Structure 1
Amino acid sequence: MQHLMRDKVVIVTGAGSPAGIGLATAKAFAAAGARVAITDVAEGSAPRRARDIGDEVRGYTCDVTDRAACEALAEEVLDAWGRIDVLVNNAGITQSRKVMDIARADYDLLMDVNLRGALHMSQAVIPAMAARGSGSIVCIASVAAQRGGGFVGGSHYAASKGGVLGLVKGMARELGPQGIRVNAVNPGVIITDMNSRAFDEARRRQIVESIPLGRFGRPEDVAGVCLFLGSDLSAYMTGSEIDVNGGIHIH
């Protein structure tokens, strides 16, 4: 497994949280032999996490809502390592609002980070991938996009992640002839920094009882699927979405 991604260069966005999907994904790629660039909008958080993982991991501060910042990041990675093979669009936020309470600022914020951020970062790496004739883009969507929310996040969160699924399919269709694969991952209820305090004990028991596998998901559960989609093990997959939800939403 340590040679699965040898000589590959991977970017993972939103990887500054110590108990998040992004950091778990970065660790999985690093363990498979990749050189990994991790990003986060919080100043200094990604460089700190990178130092904890290993010598072949570098951390950068990047706001994915800023296309110029995304392009500058891609250039830094290319200057450092000469190539970009995989992008994992993980940066995202959630927000709980009833539909009548969603303000324009709330809607714009979630769309900017969750959907426009995925577009910006993809646009930043596509030229380098196209020049090599290969690449893999993995976008983290959500079970909320499939079932209209219902756990954490309001309708605008579900809409932003539904947009991610549409973006993935559109990019996969357009970029396939250039050798670039684009796929999505739909996590279910994964306990991370973002939602660890979202449920009281009664609600936690209620949700777990509805999950066929009998537990909440862990960031590592999603990371393994991202590694699969980024590697040649999934070489004939594009425009696909993989559910990582323990069976809470079977469709």
Structure 2
Amino acid sequence: MKQVLVVTGGSQGIGAAVARLAAARGYAVALSYRRGKAQADAVVADIVKSGGQAIAVQADAADEQATEALFAAVDRALGPVTALVNNAGITGPARTLEDVTGEMLTDVMGINVNGCFLALREAARRMATDRGGAGGAIVNVSSRASELGGPNEWVHYAASKGAVDSFTIGAAKELAPRGIRVNAVNPGLIDTEIHAKAGMPDRTERFKAVIPMGRAGSAEEVAKVILWLLSDEASYVTGALVPVGGGR
């Protein structure tokens, strides 16, 4: 059966690493992006150049109609979805909790929580065996912040990822009898552009001393864990929250 993967937020960072690795392992890949069209197109071009199949679709993860349109576009271009990586997410600006505005909170929760829910819903509608689907696997990209709490920087972000963890556990139990596995990865300090976007380009260097392994992780290291969770090698794994944090 053709394996078709949707990666939300797949134009850069962990999402782009997942898209490239999945394509190398035989998946047809659809990646969504909100603003980074050039970056998304570059990922697609890399995959196609290597002999894979990929498309990029513009979609705001927090927008219900855009998410529905994303999955409809994948249906038309690639066929039935068999896997989803819910990667789209933002940290919001680094703030102490009393300086977080309602607008910041709405933005972070809209993409990280609502967006995760909406994409998983659309995937489940297509994969669930009781709806005529063939089953499948879903991986939500959470964060070690959900346990660590993000004090003095990202309490709002950490709270959103706590919701993703809870959502992962509940969805896994609900969807297991219907042929769908749902797991999450919880990356820690990962060397991607997310830190610079939050105004802290040196954050990985500053924080690596608190990591038992003494370094930041790479997007590719996270991607390998995600691809394992999607694979048949993880066929009896569902509802798991897998830390990828170098021991922290």
When normalised by structure 1's length, the TM-score is 0.90
Distance 1:236 1:58 in 2: 30
Q: Are the equivalent residues in 2 in contact too, given 1:115–1:164 (CA < 8 A)?
A: yes
1:226 CA displacement: 0.7
| Cross-structure match for 2:113 | 115
When normalised by structure 2's length, the TM-score is 0.91
Distance 2:171 2:120 in 1: 9
| TM alignment of 1:95-110, pairs within 5 A | 95=92, 96-110=94-108
How many percent identity over aligned positions? 39
SS of 1:73's equivalent? helix
Q: Are the equivalent residues in 1 in contact too, given 2:20–2:43 (CA < 8 A)?
A: no
1:186 CA displacement: 0.3
Give deviations 1:162-183, integer Å, cap 9, x for gaps. 0000110111111111011110
The residue type paired with residue 164 of structure 1 is V
1:75 CA displacement: 1.3
| Cross-structure match for 2:146 | 145
SS of 2:183's equivalent? strand
| TM alignment of 1:123-134, pairs within 5 A | 123-130=121-128, 131-134=132-135
Instruction: Classify 1:36/1:43 alpha carbon distance in 2 versus 1 (closer, same or farther; 3 Å).
Output: same
CA RMSD of aligned residues (A): 1.7
1:10 and 2:5 matched: yes
Q: Are the equivalent residues in 1 in contact too, given 2:190–2:204 (CA < 8 A)?
A: no
1:44 CA displacement: 2.2
Q: Are the equivalent residues in 1 in contact too, given 2:191–2:204 (CA < 8 A)?
A: no
Give deviations 1:111-155, integer Å, cap 9, x for gaps. 00101100011111111101224111100000100111158x421
The residue type paired with residue 90 of structure 1 is N
Ranges of 4+ aligned residues in structure 1 off by more than 6 Å: none
1:206 CA displacement: 5.2
| Cross-structure match for 1:191 | 191
| TM alignment of 1:1-251, pairs within 5 A | 7-17=2-12, 20-42=13-35, 44-45=37-38, 46-54=40-48, 55-95=52-92, 96-130=94-128, 131-150=132-151, 153-196=153-196, 198=200, 200=202, 204=204, 207-248=207-248
The residue type paired with residue 26 of structure 1 is A
1:212 CA displacement: 2.1
Distance 1:135 1:16 in 2: 23
1:49 CA displacement: 2.2
Paired residue total: 238
* Unaligned 5+ runs, structure 1: 1-5
Distance 2:186 2:106 in 1: 22
1:199 CA displacement: 5.4
Greater mean alpha carbon deviation, residues 43-52 or residues 169-178: 43-52
1:194 CA displacement: 1.2
The residue type paired with residue 143 of structure 2 is S
* Unaligned 5+ runs, structure 2: none
Q: Are the equivalent residues in 2 in contact too, given 1:47–1:60 (CA < 8 A)?
A: no
